[in-house]
Chain A
Amino acid sequence: MTTNGLLQLVIFFGVLLACVKPVGFYMARVYSGSTTFLDRIIGPVERLLYRLCGIDKTAEMTWRQYSTAVLAFSLMSFLTVYALQRTQGWLPFNPESLPAVSPDSSFNTAVSFTTNTNWQGYGSEITMSYLTQMLALTVQNFVSAAAGMAVLVTLIRGFTRHTTDAIGNFWVDLLRGTLYILLPLSLVLALALVSQGVVQTFGSYQEVTLLEPTVDAVGAEITTQTIAVGPAASQIAIKQLGTNGGGFFNVNSSHPLENPTPLSNLLQLLAILLIPAALCFTFGEMVGDRRQGWAVLAAMLAIFVPLLTITLMSEQAGNPTLAQLGADQLATDLQPGGNMEGKETRFGIVNSSLWAVATTAASNGSVNSMHDSYTPLGGLVPMWLMQLGEVIFGGVGSGLYGMLMFAIVAVFLSGLMVGRTPEYLGKKIGAFEMKMASLAILFPCAMVLVGTAVAVASTSGSETIFNPGPHGFSEVLYAFSSAGNNNGSAFAGLGANTPFYNCLLGLAMLVGRFWVMLPVLAIAGSLAAKKTVPSGPGTLPTHTPLFVVLLVAVVIVVGALSFFPALALGPIVEHLLTSTAR
């Protein structure tokens, strides 16, 4: 890696970690209902919305009521997104007169955006009207993210409250998260992106004359090109901040109008990890012991950094097959070197690899390079990060609550090992919590394994696998890892816009979202009802490096044991085949 590349990494991590505390602290205030500096501007809007919707701000819910609210809200969102896609042909803001989206694709997309996955089986600029993009997709980018954060906050309340069945009000959490956190941050980011040249217009696609005319397949001369534009900046800001990842354009953030400059690239990268990382601090702040939050963040980084290094190293090392053919893959001042297939030359190895790892660590899924073209090991990392359950940063809210499920398992094991009924943050972990945490870990895992199995075993699944050998298998495995863990990034090379994949992946996304959320809410309710046990010298501290090591070990071991065979038949064997081909 070049010094320049290293420097960029240092800047990225430096800025990210510097933002964790202020943003995390601010979010803790928002969710505990304390005053913030935005109250004067947003307060009246908030109160007006409560009045319009008839929400009693002080009425709290039990975990069952909260779950019902989350499910009802998600169902409404799903129906809205589905209906808008099916009727967009008759609706305004459709300058390209795009027709209704097919039923299976609409289902897939509706599920995808309400579950904060943003898997895109379609090509945006030739499928979705401006109205659908804004009213259906962008709105979901906000509220599905806010719903994830609401569930996390509920879990935190479970830890902080005692002997109560009230765990908060979903509508208040949803609204405050959207109004005070996502909207202001998106506004700032969108403006910054526009300043870098990201488009934001309601105008129709632009017809431009080519500087260098070319010929098409039959030999006819082509002199003009249609350039897709639209209200992109506003959607891109929230796509990154809300760990959504659904691109405005088909090629996502490798599109020059979606991610034009190195600065826009850095800003978007930061936006991907900003809220998930800062929520760790929010967690520590809200439970009244910041060290707890830092410990979780440390565990995430302890997995993130080594995996990033693996991807960087194997991408920089380049493709052994090309090396055999005498291609120069060394980094010099004139070329980035390494495996540049599927990467933008303006981003190079470091910024592409960092993006690939960050977008899969967080359940973002936006891309600025094509993961399908990564070296086998370079591509294994993003896939495995998703398979870990999207808990290394993960989705906004969902990542941390997923990580806390692993923390509960780690606490349980360590509690037993020190001879004491396990307790986490003063709450005893009993059979009910273990049952729910196991479900939350089990379901996404099952969706990935079983989904992949069904796809490779059936004709409708295997006929759209376009690549031979283990790589084809990796593509299917990647698709289900992405959907089952609500990431949304794609390996490409797989024809996924078929009724088969649209339905099966849609199912995986639904299970991966709600079968984690419901157990988490159940745990929140159960914890809130318990007494708080004061910690003593016999209590195992959960903010120490030792606990971080244990947490990391539990995440890695569960992830490795569940997916080692599948990975061995995909990227690992591919790596061994290509490296021995030398």
Chain B
Amino acid sequence: MTKASTKLFDSKILGDAIRASFSKLDPRVQLRNPVMFAVYLGSILTTVLWLNSLSEATGESSMFVFGVTIWLWFTVLFANFAEAIAEGHGKAQAASLKKSRTTVIARKIANKADRIANEVPANDLKIGDIAIVKAGETIPADGEVIEGVASVDESAITGESAPVVRESGGDRSSVTGGTRVISDWLIIQVKTLPGQSFLDRMIAMVEGAQRQKTPNEIALAILLAALTLIFLLVVATLLPYSIFGVEVSGQGKAISLTVLVALFVCLAPTTIGALLSAIGIAGMNRLSQANVIALSGRAVEAAGDVDVLLLDKTGTITLGNRQATHFIPAAGTTEKELAEAAHLASMADETAEGRSIAVLAKKQFGLRGRELEHIQPHFVPFSARTRMSGVTLDGHEIRKGAAEAVETHVRSLGGFLPEDVRSAVQVVAKSGGTPLVVSRDDKVLGVIELKDIVKGGIKERFAELRQMGIKTVMITGDNPLTAATIAAEAGVDDFLAEATPEAKLSLIREYQKGGRLVAMTGDGTNDAPALAQADVAVAMNSGTQAAKEAGNMVDLDSNPTKLIEIVNIGKQLLMTRGSLTTFSIANDVAKYFAILPAAFAATYPALKALDLMRLSSPSSAILSAVIFNALIIIALVPLALKGVAYRPVGAAQLLRNNLLVYGVGGLIVPFIGIKAIDLLLSAVGLA
């Protein structure tokens, strides 16, 4: 998936959205949103009133009724537009995903050994079927590699053009339907039914077809419906009140239906009601822009509530692997000598640790591999038996390995482990590093210190999380001593050392029992139980199928710190809803001051005193309020799509800021807006 256009108003999306605004006028669509449905009914009612005012004298200017009617319809259309444009962004993403879902022919085979393939459409594959995929072919369904190694182009899903290796066994065995094998071949076993594949679910999510309302959204919808009901009562009872008022004051006439509908629409929480679904869809879109696919909207919301974050040490907190940081020579050996030996011993060591030793030697002493060209080295690879690796050249045996392994080795040659080396080993281990001892023949040359390198900037991110009220826990297989050192260096709040899958699971359960909401990331099959238990579980896309099934979100970039972004998005989603609700309700105050004096101008002229804005005429006052109410929806669409900015400050500070901006702002803005529209209307002579 290419990164969705970050432009808010792409012309194609805009055009589609405008068209959709009209097609959404279908009452069945409107019925889904009670607030807007009420406005919809109001618009129909005023349309009838307008038609009526054309044919007979109702005592109301039909221009005025027409003005109100038009703007009520605009209110409905603007709400539709907001939803449509949010959906448009999602659809654009889905469309690019869909391209990869062309009809695929699968080569089904009976078993691993079978080489006679039976060509069937991918849609006919069932769970457990086995298929072979060769270079250049598309993988027909989500599954597990059971044989073969191949490089796979997963750009359709991840947007990452570099191919990834998929092989049987281990943590790189899962493949996604719709991705392409570039080289070699794979035999896969189908793990999902057609139509329910990962890609299908992703498309459904971003398209919003499966969008279910999240718990907080439902609660808010209830509050909004209750408010709408109250305002409906307020407006409905105003009619008998005004009839009675006319009776007792003996002047004016009862409030007209047009004005009642206008008042109702202005009071009902239309601003938030119109933007509510757009906010939800936009939240999901932001998530997919971050290259995270949420398999349920609930999880996104829960992300905002996370209290505890479990993070794997490797790859998340520290750089992928340990790196050599120091050469500590034994007495009688120079550091260069040690570095040289270490460098030679690591020549053929393709592990990250081995490479880092070569890099350090090169950096510190400018050692290079070319010196080796004329000698005939014999490389000794690492073996589980000796627990050492190294090289034999010019009759010298150079070895590196764990202290005990090297000690055993040199003793067998008649050497010994000097005390200063032994203590250096202990010092390194205590400081959280891994000591590797280097020997030449029976002589111990010294110690290489390997250390976990904490990622740059990670400490600041954890501080940020702490500010947000989230506790970070580092999970590692290291011993407690090493774990504690790295934990302190990275600034996490707590750590779980020597973690087994069971220990992870019970840690999560323990937090949950205490009422905490736990988030974690994982990729391996052994993470699956913990992922399933966590409230917010982000599986790495590079991970196994089991991990992806267990999680409720998948990070396509396989970036473990993505959780922080997800938490932000979750919080932003709630904040946008809350802030716009506050704004919407605060707006009502000004609208009362505009409409009430206007509505009762004839019956109780004294109420003119409430007309704080000094609007030019009663009809202009009512029209201005209705127009403002419609325009504010459009004005807030960008905010609804982008979301209210979240800064990691304490809850109280955040509330204070948002109350000030959206509460107090919501009180003041409509006074200015309505007055401005009124001035404009009277300037063009419409009022």
Interface: B320 (CB within 8 A): no
Binary CB contact string for chain A from 415 to 435 against chain B (1 if under 8 A, 0 otherwise):
111111110001001110111
Residues on B with C-beta less than 8 A from A450 are 233, 237
Interface: B552 (CB within 8 A): no
Task: Assess A430 versus B651: contact at CB under 8 Å? Given A417-B582, A421-B305.
Answer: no
Task: Assess A453 versus B581: contact at CB under 8 Å? Given A434-B223, A469-B249, A537-B469.
Answer: no
Interface: B166 (CB within 8 A): no
Residues on B with C-beta less than 8 A from A456 are 240-241, 243-244
Binary CB contact string for chain B from 284 to 313 against chain A (1 if under 8 A, 0 otherwise):
000000000000000001101101000000
Interface: A544 (CB within 8 A): yes
Residues on A with C-beta less than 8 A from B469 are 536-539
Binary CB contact string for chain B from 240 to 266 against chain A (1 if under 8 A, 0 otherwise):
111111001100000000000000000
Asked if residues B659 and A421 are in contact (CB atoms below 8 Å), the reply is no
Distance (Å) between the CB of A101 and the closest chain B CB? 31
Please tell me which stretch of A223-231, A346-354, A569-577 contacts chain B, meaning at least 4 of its Cβ atoms lie within 8 angstroms of it.
A569-577
Binary CB contact string for chain A from 551 to 582 against chain B (1 if under 8 A, 0 otherwise):
00100011011111110110011001100100
Residues on A with C-beta less than 8 A from B680 are none
Asked if residues B245 and A569 are in contact (CB atoms below 8 Å), the reply is yes
Asked if residues A568 and B596 are in contact (CB atoms below 8 Å), the reply is yes
Binary CB contact string for chain B from 566 to 578 against chain A (1 if under 8 A, 0 otherwise):
0000111111011
Residues on A with C-beta less than 8 A from B240 are 453-454, 456-457
Binary CB contact string for chain B from 504 to 525 against chain A (1 if under 8 A, 0 otherwise):
0000000000111000000000
Give the CA-CA distance A70 to B355 in the complex, in Å. 77
Name A459-498 residues within 8 Å CB distance of B: 462, 468-470, 472-473
Give the CA-CA distance A426 to B582 in the complex, in Å. 23
Interface: A159 (CB within 8 A): no
Can you name the residue of chain A whose Cβ is closest to the Cβ of B239? A453
Asked if residues A568 and B610 are in contact (CB atoms below 8 Å), the reply is yes
Give the CA-CA distance A430 to B298 in the complex, in Å. 13
Give the CA-CA distance A409 to B585 in the complex, in Å. 13
Distance (Å) between the CB of B605 and the closest chain A CB? 9
Residues on B with C-beta less than 8 A from A413 are 578, 581-582
- Contact pick for B267, options A414, A435, A561, CB 8 Å: A561
* Dominant secondary structure at the B interface: helix
Interface: B579 (CB within 8 A): yes
Interface: B127 (CB within 8 A): no
Give the CA-CA distance A351 to B607 in the complex, in Å. 32
Distance (Å) between the CB of B671 and the closest chain A CB? 16
Distance (Å) between the CB of A394 and the closest chain B CB? 19
Please tell me which stretch of A106-114, A299-307, A322-330, A526-534 contacts chain B, meaning at least 4 of its Cβ atoms lie within 8 angstroms of it.
A526-534
- Contact pick for B592, options A433, A438, A544, A564, CB 8 Å: A564
Asked if residues B215 and A430 are in contact (CB atoms below 8 Å), the reply is yes
Asked if residues A564 and B596 are in contact (CB atoms below 8 Å), the reply is yes
Interface: A412 (CB within 8 A): yes
Residues on A with C-beta less than 8 A from B242 are 569
Distance (Å) between the CB of A556 and the closest chain B CB? 10
Interface: A267 (CB within 8 A): no
Interface: B676 (CB within 8 A): no
Task: Assess A414 versus B655: contact at CB under 8 Å? Given A449-B234, A561-B592.
Answer: yes
Asked if residues B582 and A534 are in contact (CB atoms below 8 Å), the reply is no
Interface: A452 (CB within 8 A): yes
Interface: B375 (CB within 8 A): no
- Most chain A CB atoms below 10 A, which of B222, B301, B607, B662: B222
State which size class the interface on B falls in.
35 or more
Asked if residues B655 and A546 are in contact (CB atoms below 8 Å), the reply is yes
Interface: B656 (CB within 8 A): yes
Please tell me which stretch of A12-20, A180-188, A439-447, A509-517 contacts chain B, meaning at least 4 of its Cβ atoms lie within 8 angstroms of it.
A439-447
Task: Assess A431 versus B219: contact at CB under 8 Å? Given A565-B234, A565-B596, A573-B606.
Answer: yes
Distance (Å) between the CB of B657 and the closest chain A CB? 9
Name B215-237 residues within 8 Å CB distance of A: 215-216, 218-220, 222-223, 225-226, 229-231, 233-234, 236-237
Task: Assess A562 versus B234: contact at CB under 8 Å? Given A420-B304, A438-B226.
Answer: yes
Task: Assess A537 versus B654: contact at CB under 8 Å? Given A434-B222, A453-B241.
Answer: no
Residues on B with C-beta less than 8 A from A453 are 236-237, 239-241
How many residues does chain A have at the interface if contact means C-beta atoms less than 8 Å apart? 68
Asked if residues A417 and B578 are in contact (CB atoms below 8 Å), the reply is yes
Give the CA-CA distance A431 to B213 in the complex, in Å. 11
Asked if residues B606 and A417 are in contact (CB atoms below 8 Å), the reply is no
Can you name the residue of chain B whose Cβ is closest to the Cβ of A576? B606
Interface: A540 (CB within 8 A): yes
Asked if residues A419 and B571 are in contact (CB atoms below 8 Å), the reply is yes
Residues on B with C-beta less than 8 A from A537 are 466-469, 650-651
Interface: A550 (CB within 8 A): yes
Interface: A89 (CB within 8 A): no
Interface: A541 (CB within 8 A): yes
Task: Assess A536 versus B607: contact at CB under 8 Å? Given A413-B581, A430-B215.
Answer: no
Residues on B with C-beta less than 8 A from A417 are 575, 578-579, 582, 654-655, 658-659, 662
Asked if residues A416 and B581 are in contact (CB atoms below 8 Å), the reply is yes
Give the CA-CA distance A441 to B227 in the complex, in Å. 10
- Contact pick for A531, options B225, B515, B571, CB 8 Å: B515
Give the CA-CA distance A564 to B591 in the complex, in Å. 11
Residues on B with C-beta less than 8 A from A419 are 304, 570-575, 578, 646, 654
Give the CA-CA distance A247 to B515 in the complex, in Å. 51
- Most chain B CB atoms below 10 A, which of A426, A457, A538, A563: A538
Distance (Å) between the CB of A567 and the closest chain B CB? 10
Residues on B with C-beta less than 8 A from A473 are 241, 244-245, 248
Give the CA-CA distance A446 to B236 in the complex, in Å. 11
Interface: B683 (CB within 8 A): no
Asked if residues B515 and A420 are in contact (CB atoms below 8 Å), the reply is no
Can you name the residue of chain A whose Cβ is closest to the Cβ of B469? A538
Asked if residues B226 and A553 are in contact (CB atoms below 8 Å), the reply is no
Residues on B with C-beta less than 8 A from A439 are 226
Residues on B with C-beta less than 8 A from A431 are 215, 218-219, 222
Distance (Å) between the CB of B269 and the closest chain A CB? 10
- Contact pick for A415, options B515, B572, B574, CB 8 Å: B574
Interface: B609 (CB within 8 A): yes
Give the CA-CA distance A438 to B515 in the complex, in Å. 26
Residues on B with C-beta less than 8 A from A426 are 515
Give the CA-CA distance A560 to B231 in the complex, in Å. 12
Give the CA-CA distance A561 to B585 in the complex, in Å. 9
Name B577-614 residues within 8 Å CB distance of A: 577-579, 581-582, 585-586, 588-589, 592, 596, 600, 604, 606-607, 609-610
Asked if residues B243 and A457 are in contact (CB atoms below 8 Å), the reply is yes
Can you name the residue of chain A whose Cβ is closest to the Cβ of B654? A418
- Contact pick for A429, options B219, B231, B239, CB 8 Å: B219
Asked if residues B234 and A550 are in contact (CB atoms below 8 Å), the reply is no
Give the CA-CA distance A220 to B533 in the complex, in Å. 93
Give the CA-CA distance A418 to B651 in the complex, in Å. 6
Interface: B652 (CB within 8 A): yes
Interface: B446 (CB within 8 A): no
Residues on B with C-beta less than 8 A from A533 are 515-516
Interface: B663 (CB within 8 A): yes
Give the CA-CA distance A561 to B268 in the complex, in Å. 10
Interface: B358 (CB within 8 A): no
Q: Given contacts A419-B571, A457-B243, could you give 19 more A-B pairs where the C-beta distance is less than 8 Å?
A: A416-B216, A416-B220, A416-B575, A418-B658, A433-B219, A434-B219, A442-B226, A446-B230, A469-B248, A469-B249, A470-B245, A537-B466, A538-B469, A544-B652, A546-B652, A557-B585, A561-B589, A568-B596, A576-B609
* 28 A-B pairs with C-beta separation under 8 A: A413-B578, A414-B578, A416-B216, A417-B578, A417-B658, A418-B571, A418-B651, A426-B515, A433-B219, A438-B225, A449-B237, A453-B236, A453-B239, A453-B240, A456-B243, A456-B244, A469-B248, A470-B248, A473-B245, A537-B467, A537-B468, A539-B469, A539-B651, A564-B592, A565-B234, A569-B241, A569-B604, A573-B600
**Nearest 10 CB-CB pairs, A to B?**
A538-B469, A416-B578, A419-B571, A438-B226, A417-B578, A576-B606, A537-B469, A453-B237, A457-B240, A456-B244
